[in-house]
Amino acid sequence: MTKANWNYPTAIKFGPGRIAELPEALKSAGITRPLLVTDSGLAGLPITQNTLKLLKDAGIPVGLFADVKPNPISANVEAGIKVLREGGHDGVIAFGGGSGLDVGKVIAFMAGQTRPMWDFEDVGDWWTRADPAGIFPIVAVPTTAGTGSEVGRAGVITDEKSHTKKVIFHPLMMPRIVIADPELTVGMPKFITVGTGMDALAHCLEAYCAPGYHPMADGIAVEGMRLVFENLPKVFADPLDVEARGHMMSAAAMGATAFQKGLGAIHALSHPVGALYDTHHGMTNAVFMPYVLAVNRSAIEARVARLSAYLGLPPSFEAFQHAVISLRLRLDVPHTLAQFKVDGTKRDLIADMAIIDPTASGNPIELTRDRALEIFDRAMEGRV
């Protein structure tokens, strides 16, 4: 029997209205002077301001850091560390979508480190370079249903110099407590609702298709995909459907727990496109999805047929691929990269970056440069 390592340790408080329990969660995590980290777009919105008021009413001195780009860069992390240290904060509330969650987690991780952030990229055992005593506690509060970063042990940050997305990893970057309150996602614009939801689908799909033995991840990924197919169209049609939003929030967390098994070419290509064109990560994944499926077909056909049957579709690869394309059409996802305002001028660079992306190794078949170019060309032309 194959040997494997599995981890599912996150404590999650799930359900409408659970944001009211944030003061208690901070106390349980040992945080008395939190820094709330979010992105600039969320900082002034009612959900953020109400959360700050909740903490102040509870007598908890809280700071706010919101200098975070949608595709966060190292300068965002460095600025946040400075605010954290100068404010005497002893922990972080990572609040928002993937950008706010990732930056918040990396700020808490780097708070007491002396080495540069890139020394902790998810390469081999580089994480062992960190001083565990210098990692501040984190409470995570997702406000989107996509990345699932609230249950992850890493953060994705763009290196501005090389225009590459890098994964910063440490086991202790895992938030102590997650508050998953679907009511916080109600105000999301449709574009973000769709992009984050398709990100959750991509996480589940790539985890399920990744090679290796991890039946727990496979089972979680399959049910996560069912939740997305059933509930993302409901949320798209009725943004006030809190029950459907709750199922999407579950699917997002499920995708992120499942992808410890691996990701693949969807993410390997999406990362350089996002870094070079500043596109929304989840929506970029959505554009690439059917083309990666087509190129990977020889390695995943039987597995995808089983998935298709579980979803109530005919048990075939074609049925699942058609379901993905139909879902994208219903949700106004661009069918091609060209419709997403990505041109072909950086085609070769994207392929070169994709094959060395950390997620490339999880693809069911080797992501060679030629395969990366084929997928990119298919996505430009709409050729499934």
Segment 64-90 shows an average pLDDT of 95
Cβ neighbours around 32 below 10 Å, total: 12
CA distance 13 to 33: 21
CA distance 80 to 65: 6
Residues 256-294: pLDDT tens digits? 999 989 999 999 999 999 999 999 999 999 999 999 999
CA distance 202 to 238: 23
Segment 53-67 shows an average pLDDT of 97
Q: Is the pLDDT of residue 31 over 90?
A: yes
Cβ neighbours around 376 below 10 Å, total: 24
User: What is the 3-state secondary structure of the chain?
Assistant: CCCCCCCCCCEEEECCCHHHHHHHHHHHHCCCCEEEECCHHHHCCHHHHHHHHHHHHCCCCCEEECCCCCCCEHHHHHHHHHHHHHCCCCEEEEEECHHHHHHHHHHHHHCCCCCCHHHHECCCCHHHHCCHHHCCCEEEEECCCCCCHHHCCEEEEEECCCCEEEEEECHHHCCCEEEECHHHHCCCCHHHHHHHHHHHHHHHHHHHHCCCCCHHHHHHHHHHHHHHHHHHHHHHHCCCCHHHHHHHHHHHHHHHHHCCCCCCHHHHHHHHHHHHHCCCHHHHHHHHHHHHHHHHHHHHHHHHHHHHHHCCCCCCHHHHHHHHHHHHHHCCCCCCCHHHCCCCCCHHHHHHHHCCCCCHHHCCCCCCHHHHHHHHHHHHHCCC
Segment 310-337 shows an average pLDDT of 97
As a whole number of Å, the end-to-end CA separation of the chain is 37
Domain ranges within the chain, ordered by starting residue: 11-185, 190-381
Domain at 190-381, CATH class: mainly alpha
Q: Is the pLDDT of residue 122 over 70?
A: yes
- Asked if 169 contacts 153 with a C-beta cutoff of 8 angstroms, the reply is yes
If pLDDT is split at 50, 70 and 90, which confidence band does 368 have? very high
Q: Is the pLDDT of residue 91 over 90?
A: yes
CA distance 271 to 156: 10
Domain at 11-185, CATH class: alpha beta
Q: Can you give the pLDDT at residue 1?
A: 63
Contacts of 128 (CB under 8 A, 6+ apart): none
Q: Is the pLDDT of residue 161 over 90?
A: no
Segment 329-358 shows an average pLDDT of 95
CA distance 144 to 238: 16
Sign (positive/negative) of CA torsion 360, 109, 257, 35?
negative
- What percentage of residues in the chain have a pLDDT greater than 70? 98
Do 11-185 and 190-381 show the same overall fold?
no
Q: Is the pLDDT of residue 325 over 70?
A: yes
Q: Is the pLDDT of residue 35 over 70?
A: yes
CA distance 28 to 17: 19
Segment 147-174 shows an average pLDDT of 91
If pLDDT is split at 50, 70 and 90, which confidence band does 163 have? confident
Q: Can you give the pLDDT at residue 164?
A: 85
* 122-126, 159-163, 236-240, 344-348: least confidently modelled range: 159-163
- Asked if 149 contacts 68 with a C-beta cutoff of 8 angstroms, the reply is no
Segment 328-347 shows an average pLDDT of 95
Burial track 79-91 (b if 16+ CB lie within 10 A, e otherwise) = bbbebbeebebbb
- What residues are paired with 140 via a beta bridge? 94, 178
CA distance 130 to 147: 25
CA distance 26 to 30: 6
Q: Can you give the pLDDT at residue 4?
A: 67
Average pLDDT over all residues of the chain: 95
- Asked if 201 contacts 258 with a C-beta cutoff of 8 angstroms, the reply is no
Q: Can you give the pLDDT at residue 3?
A: 74
- What residues are paired with 73 via a beta bridge? 158
